[in-house]
């Protein structure tokens, strides 16, 4: 029997099984190509970015941006593209990006899960329908060798759907577990690469905090000591630089009076009354 003949004898349950097998096969082929690309370049990307981070963070950022078409490149580029972030922000960027990348790596697993769960049930349904059709065509009074042979042939054909459903479920389960193992291994790779990159950045952050940029000397001039209250010098502030200037001469009430005006002399009693008590 050829494939078309087997498919025809499998009954109506073969059509949903065919649809499930096509979906599962398309997911399997797509995921195999996806993981092959990852495994062929992932180790090189991680090693090159980490080596560049030990020398220059700018070159590491450019290198990670260059490999951003790969999940490992996007994972390492997410914290590097930030402008001197806090170490906690750096770690959060790594964790959030890793979650997104792992979620994208699990695409298609729902289709495989559906194929694993539904294929055996559809095959069993096809078998039950085939048995009903085979056993319903005979009666107890018409049992003979010819009729029993036809029933046996019908039962054998009805089991085709069960076998097909089991084959689809087994193949889908094998690749489903394989892709899950790849995802778990990728989590380990992300954790190891992220820990090394975070360690390098924390060392860089500590060195950056320990060696701040020194302010210019003009802004750190030592202020002069202010003289006493009776001194004739004071400060005037000019654009942040303190310099001492001579004060204006005090105003003398007697010398600034109009010369044409004569101050009347005061009697001794008025001078004593107007004198302020001495504290």
Q: For position 263, what pLDDT does the model report?
A: 43
For residue 219, count other CB atoms closer than 10 A to its CB. Answer: 8
DSSP state of 139: -
pTM for the complete prediction?
0.67
Alpha-carbon distance of 245 to 238, in angstroms, equals 11
Ranges in the chain, pLDDT < 70: 1, 136-154, 211-279
What pLDDT does residue 279 have?
39
Long-range Cβ pairs for the range 104-111 (8 Å, 24+): 104/71, 105/34, 105/71, 105/182, 105/183, 105/186, 106/179, 106/183, 107/31, 108/27, 108/30, 108/31, 108/179, 109/176, 109/179, 109/180, 111/23, 111/24, 111/27
pLDDT at 168: 95
At 181 the pLDDT is 94
Distance CA(105)–CA(182), nearest Å, equals 9
How would DSSP label each residue in 216-268? PGGGGPPPPPP--TT-S-EEEEETTEEEEEPPPPPPPTTTTS-TT--PPP--H
- Check residue 130 and give its pLDDT: 83
Strand partners, 245: 234
Cα first-last separation, the chain: 131
Quick one: pLDDT at residue 157? 74
């Amino acid at each position: 029997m050829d494939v078309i003949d087997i498919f025809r004898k499998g009954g109506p349950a073969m059509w949903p099984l065919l649809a499930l097998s096509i979906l599962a096969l398309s997911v399997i082929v797509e995921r195999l190509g996806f993981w092959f690309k990852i495994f062929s370049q992932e180790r090189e990307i991680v090693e090159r970015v980490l080596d560049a981070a030990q020398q220059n963070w700018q070159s590491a950022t450019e290198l990670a941006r260059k490999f951003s078409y790969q999940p490992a490149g996007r994972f390492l580029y997410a914290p590097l593209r930030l402008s001197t972030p806090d170490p906690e922000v750096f770690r959060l960027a790594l964790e959030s990006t890793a979650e997104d990348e792992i979620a994208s790596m699990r695409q298609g697993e729902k289709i495989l899960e559906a194929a694993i769960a539904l294929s055996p049930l559809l095959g069993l349904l096809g078998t039950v329908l085939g048995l009903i059709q085979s056993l319903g065509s005979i009666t107890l009074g018409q049992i003979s060798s010819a009729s029993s042979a036809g029933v046996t042939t019908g039962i054998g054909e009805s089991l085709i759907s069960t076998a097909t459903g089991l084959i689809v479920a087994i193949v889908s389960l094998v690749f489903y577990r394989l892709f899950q193992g790849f995802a778990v291994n990728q989590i380990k790779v992300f954790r190891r690469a992220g820990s090394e990159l975070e360690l390098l950045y924390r060392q860089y952050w500590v060195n950056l905090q320990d060696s701040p940029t020194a302010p210019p000397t003009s802004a750190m001039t030592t202020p002069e000591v202010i003289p006493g209250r009776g001194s004739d010098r004071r400060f005037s502030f000019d654009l942040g630089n303190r310099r001492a200037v001579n004060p204006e001469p005090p105003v003398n009430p007697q010398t600034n009076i109009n010369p044409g005006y004569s101050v009347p002399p005061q009697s001794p009693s008025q001078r004593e009354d107007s004198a302020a008590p001495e504290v």
